[in-house]
């Protein structure tokens, strides 16, 4: 299997987890999902950092499905009124970040302990997901550079 095909599979895994959770009404306990997918997403960021070619292109490619899902979420939950929301698009937009929802809720609770609002939690979950990938990407670049210097 080609390296590019593998990378697409890695990018699809968070979406597949969210979609299966939605369809089967089966969700891994949030703390377990957060730890497992946090470590996985950090690793994926590191893998994209080690690809040959432009670092910028690899970073954008690694976040391409994230960006599409995030923009769909913003469109459906921020820009569109509730009665005009497309439920299929709204559901799909939540799949990608589902495993990061707990961290989004934790951050949200730091700022507001009175009422739970799901849209800010989802946006924060996407933000954490992006940050974890970015940290993995930078870490992968640093590791790649130090390995080259030691050779």
**Residue 103 within any structural domain of the chain:** yes
Give the model's pLDDT for residue 17. Answer: 92
Angle formed at CA 64 by CA 98 and CA 27, multiple of 5 degrees: 15
Give the model's pLDDT for residue 89. Answer: 93
Give the model's pLDDT for residue 149. Answer: 66
Which phi and psi angles does 117 have, rounded to 5°?
A: -120, 120
In this structure, what DSSP letter does residue 81 have?
-
**Residue 55 within any structural domain of the chain:** yes
Residue linked to tokens 């939540």: 94
List, in order, residues 6 or more apart from 132 with CB less than 8 Å away. 38, 41, 42, 45, 100
In this structure, what DSSP letter does residue 77 have?
I
**Residue 29 within any structural domain of the chain:** yes
Give the model's pLDDT for residue 150. Answer: 60
Contact 85, 13 (CB under 8 A): no
**Residue 150 within any structural domain of the chain:** no
**Residue 85 within any structural domain of the chain:** yes
**Residue 149 within any structural domain of the chain:** no
Contact 45, 140 (CB under 8 A): yes
State the total domains in the chain: 1
Give the model's pLDDT for residue 21. Answer: 85
Rg of the Cα trace of the chain? 17
Give the model's pLDDT for residue 22. Answer: 79
**Residue 21 within any structural domain of the chain:** yes
Give the model's pLDDT for residue 145. Answer: 78
Q: How far is CA 14 from CA 7, 19, 73, 102, 106, in A?
A: 13, 9, 15, 14, 20
What pLDDT tens digit does each residue of the chain (151 aa) get?
788 899 999 999 999 999 888 777 777 788 998 999 999 999 999 999 999 999 999 999 999 999 999 999 999 999 999 899 999 999 999 999 999 999 999 999 999 888 888 999 999 999 999 999 999 999 999 987 777 666 5
pTM: 0.90
Give the model's pLDDT for residue 62. Answer: 96
**Residue 147 within any structural domain of the chain:** no
Torsion of CA 146, 140, 142, 149, to 10 degrees: 20
Residue 84, domain extent: 3-142
């Amino acid at each position: 299997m080609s390296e590019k095909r593998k990378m697409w599979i890695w990018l699809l895994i968070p979406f597949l987890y969210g979609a299966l959770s939605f369809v089967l009404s089966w969700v891994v306990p949030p703390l377990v999902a957060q730890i497992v997918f946090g470590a996985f997403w950090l690793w994926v960021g590191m893998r994209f950092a080690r690809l040959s070619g432009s670092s910028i292109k690899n970073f954008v490619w690694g976040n391409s499905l994230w960006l599409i899902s995030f923009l769909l979420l913003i469109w459906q939950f921020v820009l569109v009124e509730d009665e005009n929301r497309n439920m299929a698009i709204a559901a799909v937009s939540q799949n990608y970040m589902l495993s990061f929802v707990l961290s989004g809720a934790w951050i949200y609770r730091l700022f507001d302990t009175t009422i739970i609002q799901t849209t800010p939690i989802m946006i924060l979950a996407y933000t954490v997901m992006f940050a974890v990938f970015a940290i993995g990407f930078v870490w992968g670049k640093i590791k790649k550079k130090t390995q080259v210097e030691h050779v």
